[in-house]
Amino acid sequence: MSRPIRRRTRQVRVGPVLIGGDAPISVQGMIKTDTRDIPASLAQIEELARAGCQIVRVAVPDEAAAKALAELVKGSPLPVVADVHFSYRLALMAVEAGVAKLRINPGNIGARWKVKEVARAARERGIPIRIGVNSGSLERDLAGMPTAEAMVQSALRQVALLEDLGCSDLVVSLKASDVPTMVQAYRAFAVRSDVPLHLGVTEAGTRWRGSIRSAVGIGSLLLDGIGDTLRVSLTGETVEEIRVGREILAAVGLLAEAVTVVACPTCGRCQVNVAEIAAEVERRTSHLKGPLKVAVMGCAVNGPGEAREADVGVAGGRGAAVLFRRGERIRNLKEEEIVEALMQEIEALYRR
């Protein structure tokens, strides 16, 4: 598979995870629990980590949430990013609690001295700051510009401000709910700055629509070589965001360790339940680290070719299937044996 050539950015460290430079593109998640509910929040972070999330963000809406951060940082298997709006005090509390990164919008933190305080604290702790520009909350004086350009100007302005205050460990996001605007903004920023980029479509929507919109927006940029980390935002289950994020990376050839299940779309020739078999194998392999390609094909016409090319594959035939391993025909299976046989082969390949 050919891979996009990535734009070189400066590198920052978020706990053990590197963002930018030649670091692999990381997948981030955000918990949807009340930050103040420490057991529920830690349980969700664990769930995200199991799904392949590498960095977790938590909202810090008030002082009680900021006070919960120290416990979350202590119990979290993932580096924690504090998401703070409006209050420099909450940002300082988050830094003090030991978070691995801050997500702020300096434009809404207020006076320069407040931003300076936050920048100083982050610098002293050696933690990066993400400047989160959002198309819905741009500075008033940028209102006359086309939205994408206004977002870029806002980001460049805030980067300059933080650099002026001695903070160069920065990440920028330029999120919009309109996919072409978001793509345009990231492309325009990428040619003007080497600050690493956090990709995302904001308010992307429900699982179905949001996944498609995120795949189009984030995927386009990744194929351009733009992007150093990403978060898919979906209305619904948080773990789904990680699955979608990882799948976007895998689709553009940037997630070497993914298990890819390819399945035929089925047609009138189909002789086994491809949809059910593929979904079950996908579910049971989602925690595994690849690279491994599994093919589930419905018939003997086009099936054997694809199944042979995969690491493990089946080609269906009248309630039965032929099992292939790395191009070799292994044996015939009854339909009800397919999932278990595929899983045995996958696990055996993993143990090698």
Binding residues vs ligand SF4 (CB under 6 A): 264-267, 269-270, 297-299, 301-303
Query: Which residues share a beta bridge with 175?
Result: 134
Q: Which of residues 259 and 315 has its CB atom nearest to ligand SF4 in the complex?
A: 315
Number of helices and strands in the chain (H, E)? 12, 15
5 secondary structure, DSSP code:
P
Structure tokens at 250: 């895998």
Complex with ligand SF4: residue 193 or 266, whichever CB lies closer: 266
Considering beta carbons, is residue 144 or 268 the nearer one to ligand SF4? 268
- Residues 262 and 296 sit within 8 Å (Cβ to Cβ): yes
Closer residue to ligand SF4 (CB): 126 or 305: 305
Among 77, 71, 80, residue whose Cα is nearest residue 14: 80
For residues 238 and 271, which CB has a smaller minimum distance to ligand SF4 in the complex?
Answer: 271
Look at the chain and count its residues.
352
Report the residue number, 144 or 265, with the smaller CB distance to ligand SF4: 265
C-beta closer to ligand SF4: residue 180 or 327: 327
Rounded to a whole number of angstroms, the minimum distance from the CB of residue 38 to ligand SF4 is 49
Taking the complex as a whole, the smallest distance from the CB of residue 315 to ligand SF4 amounts, in Å, to 7
Write the DSSP assignment of 17-85 as a string of letters.
Answer: EEESTTSPPEEEEE--S-TT-HHHHHHHHHHHHHHT--EEEEE--SHHHHHHHHHHHHH-SS-EEEE--
Output 300 or 349, the one with its CB closest to ligand SF4: 300
Residue carrying structure tokens 């690849």:
290
Q: What share of the chain is helix, strand, coil (3-state, %, to 5)?
A: 45, 20, 35
What is the arrangement of strands in the sheet containing 198-199, beginning at the earlier edge strand? 170-175, 129-134, 101-104, 80-83, 55-59, 26-30, 229-231, 198-199
* Shortest distance in whole angstroms from residue 155 CB to ligand SF4: 45
Residue 271 or 286 with smaller CB distance to ligand SF4: 271
CB of 343 to ligand SF4, least distance (A): 21
For residues 176 and 147, the answer to whether their CB atoms sit within 8 Å is yes
Give the β-pairing of 12-14 and 17-19: antiparallel
Apex 64 CA angle, 58 and 66, nearest 5: 45
Least Å from the CB of residue 6 to ligand SF4? 35
In angstroms, what is the minimal distance from the CB of 280 to ligand SF4?
17
CB of 264 to ligand SF4, least distance (A): 3
Structure tokens given for 162: 């933080």
User: How many Cα atoms occupy the beta-carbon half-sphere of 195 within 13 Å?
Assistant: 30
Least Å distance between CB 261 and ligand SF4? 14
Q: What's the rounded Cα separation, in Å, for the pair 59 and 30?
A: 8
